[in-house]
Structure 1
Amino acid sequence: MLRTNCMIPKQFIGSEAQATYEQAKVVILPIPYEKTTTYRKGCQHGSTAIILASDQLEAYDIELEQEICQETAIFTVEAIADTRTNPALTPEAMLEITTSRVSKLIADGKFVIALGGEHSITAGVVRAYQQALNQPFTVIQIDAHGDLRHSYEGSIYNHACVMRRVLEMDLPTLGVGIRSICLEEAELIKQQQIPVIWAKDIYRDSNWIDKAIALIKTKQVFITIDLDGLDPSLLPGVGTPEPGGLNWYALTKFLRAVFTNFQVIGCDVMELAPASDSVVSEFTAAKLVYKLIGYSQQRYYSRTKLC
């Protein structure tokens, strides 16, 4: 059974993470929020499951040839927007709470990796960066779904609408791995010429990463990862799985290319809904977060404040 006690564990990668908040370059922000999920439930337990699974990671990364947690100070802060203890928390309130908390972390010069929780959270995270920066940045969305509906099930803050809210912030976006959209979203993509690297094209075109990089016109990017962007054979523990997703090496190769070519200002990893009979999904998600930490220390990352 999944342990959901907020006290266990306290830190991503457990005893290997010895930094204080003041020392930390990278801050992990758990956001165990779930209010608008529409199929398989459980993503409010996702951040806890990822942090718990991270205690089983090897500190040494073969690709980067280093013990990432020894090279980079990591600190996990207290969770926010927790619907396990505050089930009445509305999406609108969650948005405000998330923006406020992330804004403080940005002001403190931290590289933030937010862990969901449902994907609607991303709107609050992105808004914090928009308020902090004086120049545009691209939001790279790794996802199975477009998430571009104006509203869904009576709410404009539904998890199926998050990228529509991002577009309303006048920020450029790039969808990667998309393979499921509704008619409304298809028409919006055509009308607004929203850049998308479709999942089917990833498997047909060996140059897809170069093409994706060429579509990004800003120096700074924010990466949001809905874990259903990965193929469900690799990571089945999500709310709305879709066949035909990214494999591990396609995803990590793309992410490293992004970190190499742009200044990544922050990331989030959303929508893990852990299963009761398997730890494969949370372990894979934890390893992905560890990769993001390692990549964040590459060429373009600076400890200086963004604002």
Structure 2
Amino acid sequence: MQQYRPLPSFGGLPFTNPEKAKVLIISYPLEVTTTYKKGTKEGPQAILSASYNLELYDEELDDIPAEIGIYTYPDLLLSLGNVEKVLEEIEELTFNIIDYDHFPIFIGGEHTITKGILRAYNKKYKHFSVLHLDAHSDLRNEYEGTKNNHACALREASETLDIVQVGIRSMSEEEKKYVKERDNIKVYFDYKFQERFNTTLIEDILKSLKDEVYITLDFDVFNPAEMPAVGTPEPGGLSWYQVLSLLREVFKNKKVIGIDLVEFSPIPGLIYPDYMAARLIYKIIGYYKKYSLEKRL
């Protein structure tokens, strides 16, 4: 039997029955294979704690997204040491949670959690693509002696699913060759993205996605000047408003079936990244409520 421990509720909202909520917040604080700055296991707690300070009214949407109902799951106490066992646990819990009646938001933890999550989605959903926002391609077949490294997070999924990557600015030669061999992976490199960021580019990204979309967002997709609390802060990157513009259009035009946000590594004494991460999640909830809810029903 899985064990749980309490977590702060998102936004400090009263706990409610998950069946009555439309949005589910699930934390997977896995940290085993991170290779540079550590701390992703502390990410979910820091984000949820920061969310207590959010203003629940959203000025852009002229709405209170929280009214949709948000349920924060207790923290799943993942097994230690055996990453494959952890992935099995994540897959099982994810499979039992996902359906068209709820919108799940998974908070990591290292990017390896996406591997287990997508295994579950692959079993339950027949035709969907993955929108991958990241500084790194994460398509290595193996890294540091294991296929379950965070640098391999999207490799398994890429063998069966269409992957659209945005913001990439660090890729190994192995990954570049792999992408060239595949016809189901499209990469929007960061330097190209910055050269022509406009509505036409976003329309091109949308055309590359199927009607149903799962989103995986590594916080290092942002420019580290805005989001420094990541394991490997690559120069360049997307701005707050670029990310929001893309997410807004995806929610408007596609049926978003879930999202994970990973690799947030809190910096002691620096609180604005925690708040930014919480605000991003709340913006996502707002976009889901305004644009995507009817598409999921």
Q: 1:74 aligns with which of 70, 73, 77?
A: 70
Deviation at 1:107, TM superposition (A): 4.6
Q: What's the C-alpha RMSD, in Å, of the aligned pairs?
A: 1.6
SS in 2 for 1:166: helix
SS in 2 for 1:223: strand
Structure 1: segments with no counterpart, 5+ residues: 1-5
Structure 2: segments with no counterpart, 5+ residues: none
Residue aligning to 1:3: none
Contact 1:18 1:73 in 2 (8 A): no
Q: 1:142 aligns with which of 133, 138, 142?
A: 133
Moved more, 155-164 or 19-28: 19-28
Relative distance call for 1:262 and 1:215 in structure 2 (3 A) is same
Q: Provide the C-alpha distance between the structure 2 equivalents of 1:8 and 1:99, rounded to a whole number of angstroms.
A: 21
Residue aligning to 1:301: 293
* 1:80-119 to 2 correspondences below 5 Å: 80-82=76-78, 86-88=79-81, 90-107=82-99, 109-119=101-111
Relative distance call for 1:30 and 1:100 in structure 2 (3 A) is same
Q: Provide the C-alpha distance between the structure 2 equivalents of 1:192 and 1:238, rounded to a whole number of angstroms.
A: 29
Contact 1:139 1:171 in 2 (8 A): yes
Contact 2:257 2:296 in 1 (8 A): no
Q: Provide the C-alpha distance between the structure 2 equivalents of 1:231 and 1:265, rounded to a whole number of angstroms.
A: 26
Matched, 1:223 2:228: no
Deviation at 1:7, TM superposition (A): 3.9
Residue aligning to 1:13: 11
Report the identity percentage: 38
Q: Provide the C-alpha distance between the structure 2 equivalents of 1:303 and 1:180, rounded to a whole number of angstroms.
A: 35
SS in 1 for 2:32: coil
Matched, 1:267 2:259: yes
Q: 2:177 aligns with which of 157, 171, 187?
A: 187
Number of aligned residue pairs: 290
Q: 1:286 aligns with which of 260, 267, 278?
A: 278
Q: 1:161 aligns with which of 149, 152, 164?
A: 152
Residue aligning to 2:189: 198
Moved more, 37-46 or 207-216: 207-216
Residue aligning to 1:131: 123
Relative distance call for 1:51 and 1:303 in structure 2 (3 A) is farther
Matched, 1:214 2:207: yes
Deviation at 1:303, TM superposition (A): 8.6
Structure-2-length-normalised TM-score: 0.93
